[in-house]
Amino acid sequence: MVQITAPACRGPDASDSVRTIVTGLLQCSAGRYYCNAIKTRSIISLLQFLFIASIWQAYPANGAESSQLAPTAQLRPWTGTTSATFTLDDVGGEQRTLESFRGHVVLLHFFATWCAPCVEEFTSLQKLTDESRGLPITVVAIDVAEVDVRVRTFVAKLGVQFPVLLDRDRAVTKAWNVISLPTTIVLDSNLTPRFIIEDAIDWTRTDIRASIEKLYQSIKKSERTKPASAAGICISTTQHASLGED
């Protein structure tokens, strides 16, 4: 009898089932007497293996939620022709222009609160902001076509410290030819688009940071101004607690 023994501290894994199948088939070829019974057991084991393997792929290991950030996605050089300027309200109700961020490397980040990877990427963008204090880097997030109240709640919940603007009618999103969320366009200090990525990534990744640093290192120190993010809106959690959570 072939026995499947689950090792301590983990469930049965793929190798157990593979062993069952291989052993069964080897035994089958060794003698006809037990062949049918062994064949049946092997087929059952094979089915069990295939089923569990498919589920194994579908669900993360216990206690290890899978990240929604693309681990190897890269910034692509910008090849578009559009670099539309804009004026949008931020979630605090203040009007903001793209022009006001000139002099900084700008991460123009298009997102929506219903986009699951966007939530994790927001945390990463906040971390980048925290680690870049004093440097001419600004994250400018643009919410696409959602009601103000929902975006405010989202921003308050995450404790976001960078500007979050509202593209209520999708006009800016269309002008920049953004077709999927999240999309981030990296602008140099002259507000010229340099990179684009249509995926959620960890913005503190070494290779990503290096690409951004190359852009702001070209800015003469004397030309550096106070980071725009310092002047960005900040909605505290308590300020909008009455809006509730989804």
Partner 1 sequence: MDRRNFLKGTAALPLAALAPTIGFAQQPVFAPKPGPWRSYDLVTRVDVINAIGQPQAWIPLPSVNEADWFRSGDSTWTTNAATATRVRDPKYGADMLHVVWKDGEDKPVVEVTSRITTRDRAVDLSKPGQAPALSGAQRKLYLEGTELIPVNGIVKETSNGIVAGKKTDVEKARAIYEWVVENTFRNAATRGCGTGDIVAMLKTKNLSGKCADLNALYVGLARAAGLPARDVYGLRVAPSQFGYKSLGAGSADVTKAQHCRAEVYLTGFGWIPVDPADVRKVVLEEPPTKLALDDPKVIAARKALFGSWEGNWLAYNFAHDLALPGGKHPKLGFLMYPQAENAGLLLDSLDPASVKYTLTAKSITA
Residues near partner 1 (CB under 8 A): 11-12, 51-52, 55-56, 59-63, 114, 116, 145-150, 153, 168-170, 179-180, 198, 242-246
Of 181, 58, 36, nearest to 110 (Cα)?
Answer: 181
**H/E run at residue 166:** strand 164-167
**C-beta of 94 vs 148, nearer to partner 1:** 148
**Which is nearer to partner 1, 26 or 47 (by Cβ)?**
47
**Beta carbon of residue 167, minimum distance to partner 1 (angstroms, whole number):** 9
Write out the two tokens for 37.
Answer: 């019974």
DSSP annotation of 139 = E
Minimum Å gap between C-beta 184 and partner 1 is: 15
Shortest gap between Cβ of 93 and partner 1 (angstroms)?
Answer: 10
Q: Which helix (H) or strand (E) holds 16?
A: helix 14-30
d(CA 124, CA 122): 5
Nearer to partner 1, 158 or 191 (CB): 158
Nearest to partner 1 of 40, 225 (CB atom): 40
For residue 203, give the nearest of 173, 182, 223, 176 by alpha carbon: 182
Please report how close the Cβ of residue 114 comes to partner 1 at its closest, in angstroms.
5
